[in-house]
Structure 1
Amino acid sequence: MVRIVTDSTCDLTKERLAELGVLCVPLTVHFGEEEYRDGVDMTNPEFYEKLRKAAEIPTTAQPTPHAFEEVFAQCLERGEDVVCVLISTELSGTAQSANIAKNTLESDRIHIVDSRTACLALGLLVEIAAQRAAEGRSAEEIAAEMESLTDRVRINAAVETLEYLKKGGRLSGTAAALGTMLNIHPLVGILGGKVVQLGKARGKKKMFESLRKMTEEEGIDDKYPVLLGHAQSMENYEQLRQACQPLTEGRTVLYGEIGSVIGTHAGPGVVAITYIKKA
């Protein structure tokens, strides 16, 4: 049997991870001296409520090698091979911790994949990996497919508020004030393992239309599902879902909720569509 392992930046719900049989190693979020395990010690609604009230944005930290070692050891003891699909090494040292754990255990039954992405795009790869495991594919086959998809997995996301980009130092106060006045919404994605700006939209209606148009222009590989998600805004999620309906008609559409590690930097209200680009 193959067990899929990931980290909490995949932004799949606890219920979905349990349904898939995927094990999740949490990153940590720090509000001053207070430390919380992402998705374990604090729910998403609790996190965003605390974020809204915080004077400064929290910081995040990768899991320790020991956290991965514990999970890997349990899998090996049950006779399971492991495929561990993790946040981009360009964004976090999480995969480094996993590799240290693998080397400590000295097992060739552990396969670690740098997804070269994060957030819901990582979640989509995890969904695909779990499906392959359920189909009875070997760990080597699943890891190879995940590696082959890292260059084609896409996430097109829109940021609702500029407040948290300003708090995090990614946007000056002047630019944030001007952007807010003009109702500007940055459009972002992850390419080459790094977060990049894809454009901007003026007004929320244009924001949803732009996400659909960018996705449509690049093209979706029909062999894979599409994943839509949001950060504490079901209203924005529903508008995105409706805007993208012409693209998702007849496809399997999955769901995710953007959690604290990604939400720390982008804030609530973010929406995103994730897919595998046509080869």
Structure 2
Amino acid sequence: MLVKILADSATDLSMNHYNEFDIEMVPLTVHLDEKEYKDNVEIQPKTVYDAMRQGKSPKTSQVSPETFHNLFTTYAEKNEPLVYLAFSSELSGTYQTAKMMLLEVKETYPDAPIDVVDTKCASIGYGLVVLYAAKAAKNGASAEDIIQSAQYHATHMEHIFTVDDLEYLYRGGRVSKTAAFVGSLLKIKPILHVENGKLVPLEKIRGSKKLFNRMLDIMEERGTDFTNQLIGISHGDDFERAEQLSSLIQERFGTAKEDIVIEMVGSVIGAHSGPGTIALFFLNSSPK
């Protein structure tokens, strides 16, 4: 029996990916205009970005305990193997909720072949970890091998990203009001990364022209074997710049266009990073 891979909507993968690799998805929740929406099911990122451009502040919340309990029970009753690869526990409570619900389900079904793994990853970085695992599952890998593979890819997955407006990070508590104000005045573009699952400022670049070159310098410093891995790019409703970054990667590292996954930053992460975000994901040569 093949192992089923479960992920949540913070992978920022398209429904095409979920369908192609038979990945099950549970949606986080987006709160906008006093209504609740299931991410990537009842609301799409473009709606969230347009609302943010109008000055609105969408909120997000984790997957409900009931959703996990019902899903895990379904797999436990059938004794079907399931591996849930979760959005970073440092950015959402979804992983902890899943662990608690799995413990509850295992009180009734102690031998249920269900595992929950904290990827410590986000957006397409998380999505790439899930894709690697889903491909292994499709090829008949065991749950143990899938988990080991996922942990390896998660540990080595770099997240390098920038935002168009520091105001959105300020609202999310990532930078101070003063830093956001001064940064906007000076046209400073921050480069951030993910360290142990948390968003951490890395550098500040003045002027957008230098930005992509510096991101690629960091990629070259940290990464390895760019012609033999999937590269991820996600964008906050700015496909043109994402394509530009993709072209630069192809020119500089010889990566094939088909090995670069470009997707929009989803509603949940986009609600905190804002329109114009550009993020780059690749495997590094040493654990992050």
TM-score by length of 1: 0.92
Give the aligned partner of residue 155 of structure 2: 151
**CA deviations over 1:120-142 (Å, ceiling 9, x no partner):** 21111001111111111011110
**CA deviations over 1:43-67 (Å, ceiling 9, x no partner):** 1111111222244x22221112211
Q: Counterparts of 2:175 and 2:153 in 1: how far apart (Å)?
A: 32
**Consecutive aligned runs of 4 or more in structure 1 exceeding 6 Å deviation:** none
1:113-152 equivalent positions in 2, closer than 5 A: 113-152=117-156
Residues 168 and 272, structure 2, Cα contact 8 Å, conserved in 1? yes
**CA deviations over 1:15-52 (Å, ceiling 9, x no partner):** 22222211111111223632122111111111111222
Q: Does 1:249 align with 2:255?
A: yes
Q: Counterparts of 1:163 and 1:140 in 2: how far apart (Å)?
A: 43
**CA deviations over 1:227-267 (Å, ceiling 9, x no partner):** 12211101111121122222252482223221111111110
Give the aligned partner of residue 275 of structure 1: 282
Q: Counterparts of 1:238 and 1:135 in 2: how far apart (Å)?
A: 31
Q: Does 1:38 align with 2:42?
A: no
Give the aligned partner of residue 26 of structure 2: 25
**CA deviations over 1:192-211 (Å, ceiling 9, x no partner):** 11111111222222111111
Q: Which amino acid aligns with 1:190?
A: V
Superposed CA RMSD: 2.0
1:93-132 equivalent positions in 2, closer than 5 A: 93-106=93-106, 107-132=111-136
Q: Counterparts of 1:193 and 1:109 in 2: how far apart (Å)?
A: 26
Q: Which amino acid aligns with 2:93?
A: G
Task: Say if 1:5 and 1:185 are closer, same or farther in 2 by CA, change over 3 A.
Answer: same
Q: Secondary structure at the match of 2:253?
A: helix
Task: Say if 1:154 and 1:51 are closer, same or farther in 2 by CA, change over 3 A.
Answer: same
Structure 1: segments with no counterpart, 5+ residues? none
Give the aligned partner of residue 215 of structure 1: 219
Deviates more, 1:161-170 or 1:253-262: 161-170
Structure 2: segments with no counterpart, 5+ residues? none
**CA deviations over 1:143-175 (Å, ceiling 9, x no partner):** 122123332111111111223123334334443
TM-score by length of 2: 0.89
Task: Say if 1:166 and 1:193 are closer, same or farther in 2 by CA, change over 3 A.
Answer: closer
Q: Counterparts of 2:247 and 2:220 in 1: how far apart (Å)?
A: 14
Q: Alignment length, in residue pairs?
A: 278
Residues 230 and 260, structure 2, Cα contact 8 Å, conserved in 1? yes
